[in-house]
Amino acid sequence: MAIVVNLDVMMAKRKTSLSELADKVGITQANLSILKTGKAKAVRFATLDSICKALDCTPGDILEYIEIENDEE
């Protein structure tokens, strides 16, 4: 997927651990870990809203689009 999740970068900047962020956001550590490692298929706006509030950032700080070069092009 071309969407990269930079949650770990933001967590390091805010010096927040996974368990702390999970408590603040209201989701399980397991789910947060799935998001952090880029295995998530989709994120709800409500979850993104909670994460941005908890880390005092914008969605663009967490989600990044990296264009994948297509061999056919």
Please select the residue that binds other proteins; options are 23, 31, 53, 56, rule is CB under 8 A: 31
Q: Give yes or no for residue 42 binding other proteins (CB under 8 A).
A: yes
Shortest Cβ 56–other proteins spacing (Å): 19
* Distance of alpha carbon 32 from alpha carbon 38, whole angstroms: 10
Check: CB of residue 61 under 8 Å from CB of residue 51. no
Nearer to other proteins, 17 or 28 (CB): 28
Q: Give yes or no for residue 54 binding other proteins (CB under 8 A).
A: no
* Distance of alpha carbon 51 from alpha carbon 59, whole angstroms: 9
